[in-house]
Structure 1
Amino acid sequence: MDHLQHSAAARRGGQPASDRVATPWLALLAGPLSYGIAGPALVLDDVARAMGTGEQTAASAVTAFGWGIALGTPLLAALLARRGVRAVLSVATALMVAGTVLLVLSPNVPVLVVGAAVQALGSAGLTVTAMKLADSARRMGVVTASLAVVGSTGPLSGALVADALSWQAVLALPLLAVLAVPAARRGASPREAAPASFDPLGMALLALLVTAAVLTPHRPLVAGPATVALLLVLAARTKARPDGFPAAAVARNGRFLGACALAFALGVVNFALLYTAPELLREHAGWDGTRSGIWLLAPYLLGGFGSGFLVAASARVPHRAVAAALLAAGAAAPLLAAATTVVPLLLGAMALGSLAASTGQGVLALRAAGVVPAAHEAEALGLFNLAYLLSVAFGPAIAVMLSQ
């Protein structure tokens, strides 16, 4: 792992661009994305009442956000590879502002869904840029810990903001990330981009694949087979055009695919537990939404802050040992939550799931970027985050279905 970090820094040549952007700005650039995932957890009933619909329909905005960040991450990573940091920051900021305006002014569910998707595209661009600029385990740990910490405070922050202002203000919280854009622009070199092939057909196939995958939890009989078919078509295309998008050097790299698969599994567990937690605590402890949000701070903050230290420490541990530990923790968390009605053990399961997912995101992102050729590093980070963030669409949807 240490070798992967040093090689990633060496690829940039000379002084890494990320050294010119202070680490706290990278954390602010990435962290607010988690408000779009976790912020609505305790206010979906408010959104449903305002829109005159059911909670499951209102949750489609969260699904749309998951679709947007899953799709936006590889596409804006491709833009990052072609045009550099400053171009991505400009496009992502515009998307963030436009999406937030739609969310705040949305008169109905369709507009709400479109706004969430557009906002998520921008959030994805800012987050993948922050991860590209994080060139060491320590800095990557801070970035991924910021995502986890914001996610841990998201349900309570959302409830408090909704009480003080409105549910629309909760949906606007991801916009806080644009506060870090000026610092990132100042620190980014205007010539960071490298020549990269442009493959619109490959991007279109990937967009269809992401859409089908996101719809799979809701329409499994239709979207499931479509996902498999599109995956096979995209795999065949990478063989026919190795320099297309995604590049064969990334999409056919076994170590890269293994990192993506593990990150996705850990994310599904974490986000499913996050959305299941309020119902479990209401059932077993009789707590309302606000009290649940307060108590959930402890396990998710533990997972978020702890992951920062664990990602940094992972540089000194063999990757196979780290992967085995992550897999064991990710499997233990849902089993513990399902087997117990004791509140401290439930909270322990939440902490374990959060710690495994946020640590895995940082450790496995470094792994994914380090096992591909230097020219494909940005693309690899984008596709890796696609795999992780697809779990945002699956986790909450699974939790809502289980609670019916």
Structure 2
Amino acid sequence: MVVLSLLTLPASLGISATSLLLPTIAGDLGTTTGAATWLLTVYGWGMAVSMPLVAAVVRKLGRRAALAFGVTAHVIGVVLILFGTPLLVITAGRMFLSVGAGAMVVLSVGIARDIAEPRLRQYTLGAITASLGVSGAAGPLLGSALTDSLSWRVALALPALCLIAAPAAVRYAEGRTGSAAGRFDATGAGAFMLVVTGIFIVLQGPAGGVPTSLVLLGAAVGVAALAVLVPWTRARPDGFLPAAVRGDRRFVLSSAFVLSAATINFALIYAVPQLLAAQTDWTRSEIGAVLVVPMLLGAALSWGMSPVTVRLGSRRSVLILAGAAAGAAGIAGLLASVPALLVGAAIASFASAAGQGVLAAAATATVPDTSRTQAIALFNLAFQFGSVVGPAVLATFAPVIGLAHALSMLMLFPIVITALSRAGAVMTRQNETV
């Protein structure tokens, strides 16, 4: 379990260690902070799109091939980040790092689920996701310290620390999961990636320095890809988006809930340092040091959510986590004082880390074994896409209504999903009685 945690632990550093460094990077490269934000959001996009692809590699070629893929992507990413000069090259390096990190997360969660006893599965997944929260809590301080002592390039390459655990992980990466029969659904995978990428470009929008023409092109490509994806997946129940996964109500709702919790957490990671800098005279390193406490506290508390879930059940636990995520955005955004920002960061860290562990088990509980690896990957895609949605929403609305008010808007996300899920449950019961 230690090896699996070490394999995934550095992945969250790609977001948290970067959030404080964007103004410094922008100044060194002679660009704007908005343009430098690509270094943050492209990492989330890369992890999101890579996870289902890596799961398909696992199903067809086995875990060792996926591990080799992840290691190679990390090495390429480190080289581009450390030695690249233009922002575009460094951004490409971050993309390779994120793809490698996505591979490591899929492998670790899948292996942990397979080797853990059923009665300990919830605790095992909770331990792995809590380790992500712990590393994320240390990210702002670690990134600032490395930037001050070495270079921001080293801080951007922190996810590559997982390579230390890669040799020890080889012995866990035996065989493949599910059925390897049939050909890889390249059309379904390609259409799905284009849909996700189109959403990413639209969310980045002009606030991220994307020309309007490119935003419109991204939207058009995404819509066209969706028009291909829907009939294609319906005709191929065992394709890239298995029918057993996309038709599982527990999976869909769990993914929606984890997306909302992650969106709020990553939005706070993006916004809180800026709001603290505006209200205090703290340096970048001091802000990073202060943020360690609430984020580490939230991640530590998430460890205790696994036994609570065992006692209360997943439905009540989800309501608790949805309320916590909404409360975090409301407290930080509506009050916006220094104590409120720190409390909001702690609650969001707890809801995100605990939600990933609790909801991962719920999302895959009724999925067949042959589709479980793909289900885990798609669930993690939903979580990781929150790192794109949160900062993008704030970057879009902050210039209009202010950063704090934009943050408070996000509290509606888990509330709306909860209301829709309850309404869907009522309609399902009514249909069953007809």
Question: Aligned partners of 1:196, 1:72: CA distance in 2, in Å?
Answer: 22
**Equivalent position of 1:152 in the other structure:** 137
1:10-47 deviation per Cα after TM superposition (whole angstroms, max 9, x unaligned): xxxxxxxxxxxxx1111110010111111111111221
Question: Aligned partners of 2:318, 2:133: CA distance in 1, in Å?
Answer: 19
- Aligned with residue 151 of structure 2, among 147, 162, 166: 166
Secondary structure at the counterpart of residue 304 of structure 2: helix
Question: Aligned partners of 2:269, 2:386: CA distance in 1, in Å?
Answer: 12
Matched, 1:200 2:177: no
CA RMSD of aligned residues (A): 1.8
Any conservation in 1 of the 2:324–2:347 contact (CA below 8 Å)?
yes
Distance 1:149 1:399, change over 3 A: farther
Secondary structure at the counterpart of residue 180 of structure 2: coil
Query: So what's the TM-score if we normalise by structure 2?
Result: 0.84
Distance 1:170 1:339, change over 3 A: same
Residue identity opposite 1:171 in structure 2: L
Matched, 1:388 2:366: no
Residue identity opposite 2:187 in structure 1: L
Question: Aligned partners of 1:275, 1:172: CA distance in 2, in Å?
Answer: 19
Query: So what's the TM-score if we normalise by structure 1?
Result: 0.90
**Equivalent position of 1:41 in the other structure:** 19
Any conservation in 1 of the 2:195–2:222 contact (CA below 8 Å)?
yes
Question: Aligned partners of 2:222, 2:255: CA distance in 1, in Å?
Answer: 17
Shift of 1:219: 2.6
- Once the two structures are overlaid, the 10-residue window that deviates more, 186-195 or 120-129, is 186-195
Residue identity opposite 1:132 in structure 2: G
Any conservation in 2 of the 1:93–1:178 contact (CA below 8 Å)?
yes
Question: Aligned partners of 1:196, 1:28: CA distance in 2, in Å?
Answer: 32
Any conservation in 2 of the 1:141–1:362 contact (CA below 8 Å)?
yes
Question: Aligned partners of 1:224, 1:253: CA distance in 2, in Å?
Answer: 28
Distance 1:227 1:262, change over 3 A: farther
**Equivalent position of 1:62 in the other structure:** 40
Matched, 1:97 2:75: yes
How many residue pairs match? The answer is 382
- Aligned with residue 335 of structure 1, among 330, 334, 350: 330
Matched, 1:242 2:237: yes
Residue identity opposite 1:79 in structure 2: V
Any conservation in 2 of the 1:85–1:193 contact (CA below 8 Å)?
no
Shift of 1:283: 2.5
- Once the two structures are overlaid, the 10-residue window that deviates more, 72-81 or 394-403, is 394-403
Structure 1 unaligned spans of 5+: 1-22
**Equivalent position of 1:132 in the other structure:** 110
**Equivalent position of 1:325 in the other structure:** 320
Matched, 1:360 2:355: yes
Residue identity opposite 2:285 in structure 1: T
Any conservation in 1 of the 2:178–2:369 contact (CA below 8 Å)?
no
Equivalent positions of 1:14-93 (< 5 A) are 23-93=1-71
**Equivalent position of 2:116 in the other structure:** none
Structure 2 unaligned spans of 5+: 114-120, 207-214, 400-434
**Equivalent position of 1:20 in the other structure:** none
Question: Aligned partners of 2:151, 2:369: CA distance in 1, in Å?
Answer: 46
Question: Aligned partners of 1:327, 1:143: CA distance in 2, in Å?
Answer: 21
**Equivalent position of 1:267 in the other structure:** 262
Any conservation in 1 of the 2:259–2:386 contact (CA below 8 Å)?
yes
Question: Aligned partners of 1:108, 1:336: CA distance in 2, in Å?
Answer: 39
1:130-159 deviation per Cα after TM superposition (whole angstroms, max 9, x unaligned): 111122111111110111111111111100
Residue identity opposite 1:98 in structure 2: I
Equivalent positions of 1:165-184 (< 5 A) are 165-184=150-169
Distance 1:190 1:256, change over 3 A: closer
**Equivalent position of 1:218 in the other structure:** 204
Higher relative contact order (CA 8 A, sep 6+): 1
